[in-house]
């Protein structure tokens, strides 16, 4: 086995994403030691009990001491305060990264607190489930998933190459892009779909005459998928929308225009418009399958009870 890419990796936050990083990094030999911390004492206790990391610290300042790589795995809204807290304790030459779903706001929040001798490489792994907490992580979460990096233009090539290798070592496909471009793309592929799912489940909840009876009892695949998405961590998604306001509102506006056009087609009985529209959008699904980002197994890959 080759030498670890980093001697000591510190994870700030010990939920699904951090837990999966810890398990994957240790399994693949990417780090000699993985340590971590979390704001909640209960989370720290659980992480220690299950051996999620090599050592759990009570504070972030303790966790980052002598770490070669520090990854912020906290909600976007908490990035600034965490960065300010750990900045005086970061090792010279350390790489600081994050896993936030928004990049421009994270850079604006974190960068001003960092000393000049720390390398900041923002990241966003496009992977996750509706589950959270230290027991939700698993070592294969990042396999064949994309991790998008938005490094500053003056990032040292060697530091960037090593961090790319770290994510590739966990099975991820890595690409780099501008932070603003990232936020606009993710507004389409993730942020707005989540808010639509939250809205649809909220509509069902408002219909009290069917909620907790017909809606749940007769849930079809479409609504089940909405509820899975809408079960995602509320704190994380609150912060995503508040910190990617411009791109989210732009895409929501375009979505509303499309929705109005479909409403008109249904009202006028314009079957040709509906058929053409659905044919065009169906091709997107084929593109996702061709890219290896989902499976075409029956029932969307759900495991059926035997």
pLDDT tens digits, 79-94: 999 999 999 999 999 9
Tens-digit pLDDT profile for residues 161-190? 999 999 999 999 999 999 999 999 999 888
Measured distance CA(248)–CA(227) in Å, rounded: 21
Which CATH superfamily includes the segment(s) 181-293?
A: 6-phosphogluconate dehydrogenase C-terminal like domain (1.10.3660.10)
Kindly tell me if the per-residue pLDDT of 213 is higher than 70: no
- Write down the domain spans for the chain: 6-177, 181-293
Q: What is the pLDDT of residue 15?
A: 93
Cβ contact 174:55 at 8 Å? no
Q: What is the pLDDT of residue 305?
A: 38
List, edge to edge, every strand of the sheet that includes 123-125. Answer: 123-125, 146-149, 173-176
Measured distance CA(202)–CA(15) in Å, rounded: 26
Band (102; pLDDT cuts 50, 70, 90): very high
List, edge to edge, every strand of the sheet that includes 119-120. Answer: 55-57, 31-37, 6-12, 69-72, 95-98, 119-120
Among candidates 156, 154, 153, which has minimal Cα distance to 178? 153
Lowest pLDDT segment from 82-86, 123-127, 151-155, 246-250: 246-250
Q: Mean pLDDT throughout 270-278?
A: 91
Residue 5 DSSP symbol:
S
Q: What is the pLDDT of residue 209?
A: 61
DSSP characters over 187-234: IIIIIHHHHHHHHHHHHHHH-TTTTTTHHHHT--HHHHHHHHHHTS-H
Cβ contact 104:132 at 8 Å? no
**What is the fold of 6-177?**
Rossmann fold (3.40.50)
Measured distance CA(134)–CA(187) in Å, rounded: 27
Cβ contact 106:122 at 8 Å? yes
Kindly tell me if the per-residue pLDDT of 96 is higher than 90: yes
């Amino acid at each position: 086995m080759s030498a670890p890419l980093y001697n000591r990796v510190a994870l700030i936050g010990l939920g699904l994403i951090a837990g999966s990083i810890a398990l994957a990094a240790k399994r693949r030999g990417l780090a000699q030691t993985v340590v971590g911390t979390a704001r909640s004492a209960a989370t720290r206790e659980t992480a220690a009990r299950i051996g999620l990391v090599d050592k759990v610290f009570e504070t972030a300042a303790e966790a980052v001491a002598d770490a070669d790589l520090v990854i912020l795995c906290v909600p976007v809204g908490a990035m600034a305060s965490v960065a300010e807290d750990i900045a005086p304790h970061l090792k010279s030459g350390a790489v600081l990264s994050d896993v936030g779903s928004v990049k421009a706001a994270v850079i604006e929040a974190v960068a001003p607190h960092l000393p000049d001798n720390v390398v900041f490489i923002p990241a966003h792994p496009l992977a996750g489930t509706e589950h959270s907490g230290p027991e939700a992580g698993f070592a294969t979460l990042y396999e064949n998933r994309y991790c998008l990096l938005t490094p500053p233009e003056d990032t040292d090539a060697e530091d960037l190459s090593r961090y790319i290798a770290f994510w590739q070592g966990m099975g991820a496909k890595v690409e780099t892009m501008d932070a603003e471009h990232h936020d606009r793309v993710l507004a389409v592929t993730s942020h707005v779909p989540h808010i639509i799912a939250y809205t649809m489940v909220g509509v069902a909840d408002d219909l009290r005459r069917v909620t907790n009876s017909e809606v749940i009892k007769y849930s079809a695949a479409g609504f089940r998928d909405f509820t899975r998405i809408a079960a995602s961590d509320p704190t994380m998604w609150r912060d995503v929308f508040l910190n990617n306001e411009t791109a989210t509102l732009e895409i929501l506006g375009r979505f509303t225009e499309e929705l109005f056009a479909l409403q008109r087609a249904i009202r006028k009985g314009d079957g040709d418009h509906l058929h053409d529209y659905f044919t065009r959008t169906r091709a997107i699904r084929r593109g996702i399958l061709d890219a290896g980002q989902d499976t075409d197994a029956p029932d969307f890959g759900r495991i059926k009870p035997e």
